[in-house]
Amino acid sequence: MEKLLNILNKIKPNIDFSKEQNLIEGGILTSFDIIRLVAELNSEFDIEITPLYILPENFKSAETILKLIEKLQEED
C-alpha cells in the first residue's frame, strides 16, 4: 500500500490518497493522470493493466487500485 501511495503522490502531490474515495468523479485524477498512473503501476509492480481493466470502478480509491494490482499479480 505504501508503495502505491508514493506513486499516487508522485503523480498528484498534496493529496491524502489513503482517505479519498472518489478519485475519478471528484476530479482528483484527470485523464492524463490515469494514463501516467497505469504506466507507473505497470513498471513498478511488473504487471500489465490492459484496457479491459482501465475502468472507473478500478480507480475510485487507493484501495480499489491495490485490489486490481493484487488480482493481476495473482493471475501472472
Partner 1 sequence: MKNILEQFEQMAERFKDKTLFAEVEKSITTSEFKKRCQQLGTEIAKLGLFNQPVMVIDNRDIKTLISMFAVVYSGNHYVLLDGSSPIERLNKICAIIEPKLMLCQEKTLGTANELIKDRQCKILQIENCFNEIDLSLLNNIRQRSVSTDCVYILFTSGSTGVPKGTVITHANLLSYLPWFINCFNIDENTIFASQTPFYFSASVSDLFSSLFTGATFNIIPKSYFSFPIQLVRFLNERQVNTIYWVPSALCLVANIDLFKYEKPKFLKKVMFIGEVMPNKQLNYWRNALPDVEFANLFGPTETVDVCTYYKVNRPFRDDETLPIGVACDNAETFIIDQNGKEVTSQNTIGELYVRAPYVASGYYKNDEQTKKAFVQNPLQNNYPEIVYRTGDLVMLNRFGEYEYCGRVDFQIKHKGYRIELGEIERVAGAIENINSVVAIFDKEADKIVLIYTGKIKKEEFYSTLTTKLPNYMLPEILIKTANLPINANGKIDRKLLTNSYKQLI
- Residue burial 51-74, b: 16+ Cβ < 10 Å; e: rest: eeeeeeebbbbbebbeebbeebee
Q: C-beta of 70: minimal distance to partner 1 in Å?
A: 20
Cα separation, 24 vs 58, whole angstroms: 10
Q: For the window 34-63, what string marks contact with partner 1 as x by the rule CB under 8 A?
A: xxx--xx--xx-----xxx-xxx--x----
Binding flag, residue 13, partner 1 (CB under 8 A): no
Binding of residue 4 to partner 1 (CB under 8 A): no
CB 70 within 8 Å of CB 36: no
The residue ranges that bind partner 1 (CB under 8 A) are 24, 29-36, 39-40, 43-44, 50-52, 54-56, 59
